[in-house]
Amino acid sequence: MDLDDSPQEAGFRRNVRAWLRDHLTEERRLQLNAREGRAWIDFIRHWQRDLLAAGLSVRSWPRAYGGQGAPATEDLIVFEELAQADAPLDAFRVGIRIIGPMLMKLARDDQKAAFLPRIADGSDLWSQGFSEPGAGSDLAALSTRAVHRAGKYVINGQKTWNTLGHLADFCLVLARTNPEVPKHKGLTAFAVPMSSPGITVRPLQQMNGRRDFNEIFFDDVELPENAVVGIVDGGWKVAVTMLDFEHRGLAVLGFGCRRLYGRLLELARTTRIGSSNRAALGELDIRRRLAALGGQARIAVLNNHRFLAMIPEGGVPGPEAAIQKLHSTELNKAMHALALEIASLADLADSEARERLSAWEEDYLTSFGMTIAGGTSQIQRNIIAERALGLPR
């Protein structure tokens, strides 16, 4: 396949770069990368609306829902340029890259009209309520129940590892509605307003010191019947569709790996070993490892383009997305591990060296979460084996 931009794509890429130069100032980047609290979400909402107004967000979505009806390749160009510009964390990625595409496939028309434009412009932040303390990798074993009673559904149970649920407006919750059938056939998906009575959210402190993840408790949370997404007892299809889109969304991290590789090279150039004047980049072992990671970073970018070309127009990503997700998240972790190793070679009696090491340490710890989100690396290997390669379970 031809990986060069067409004349139209090249022009679009130039426009994206020019817009980012004008709108992503260093001051704004710092505000947008704060990553915690309501004030941060307010900054991100404005950023999301600016992206949408410029035609740079949900570009491939239908115009009726805020998009431009553009080819999916233009979405990739936007993701690539955002990564190169070190743009802020996409807090709305769950809604835009996972829940929104699923709603287009499986939701009722009234739900699409109500939810999709507000996802696109940042009015509503969505989270995902799948994992439970006793049902992580085995999602079908979940125990959260939704009982139909007097024209409503009443939900009781607990979810965990919920990203940004403490700041979210909605949660897409998977609950058991029929305990009498095989476990994956009795699940239903619900669009749950996080302001509903009976919901308690408790942020979880991660090993990097942040509180992006949460546990959510549902105590007699009442929902109308029209909160069902898809069909009753058809939640497994919703979950699988969302996970395929999630793998694809996380795979976009491959563009971030290219940007990260540039930072890694600069770190190796500028880090002096101990109190000497020897640059870490001059060490043969480090040069070899950097060269290997550079090749893998290029592969991550090429995989994004290659697997996008394999998705039918308007279709759902296939098991190949698991290859992307596995490769890019493990590569991200490996690059941060080398960065931490290089930063630790400096003379740590110097305060700037200590601060640099601390920043890389936080990013390294964060990288572990990316190998778990959307299914662990072990689960991705199972998906690749069974669904892509046709190996026995």
Which residues are tagged catalytic?
246
* Beta strand 170-176 pairing with 126-129: parallel
Nearest in space to 120 (alpha carbons), one of 88, 102, 97, 143: 97
**CA angle (94, 96, 101) in 5-degree steps:** 100
Report the 3 state secondary structure along 198-265.
Answer: CEEEEEECCCCCCCCEEEEEEEEEEEEHHHEECCCCCHHHHHHHHHHHHHHHHHCHHHHHHHHHHHHH
Q: Is 213 left (phi over 0), alpha (psi -120 to 50) or beta?
A: beta
Q: How far apart are CA 194 and CA 172, in angstroms?
A: 10
Nearest in space to 192 (alpha carbons), one of 128, 143, 147: 128
Nearest in space to 61 (alpha carbons), one of 123, 124, 127, 117: 117
Amino acid at 123: S
Q: How far apart are CA 193 and CA 326, in angstroms?
A: 32
Segment (H or E) for 37? helix 37-53
Q: How far apart are CA 50 and CA 86, in angstroms?
A: 17
Q: How far apart are CA 259 and CA 159, in angstroms?
A: 34
* Residue 341, C-beta contacts closer than 8 angstroms, at least 6 positions apart: none
Nearest in space to 107 (alpha carbons), one of 223, 224, 235, 218: 235
Q: How far apart are CA 98 and CA 233, in angstroms?
A: 20
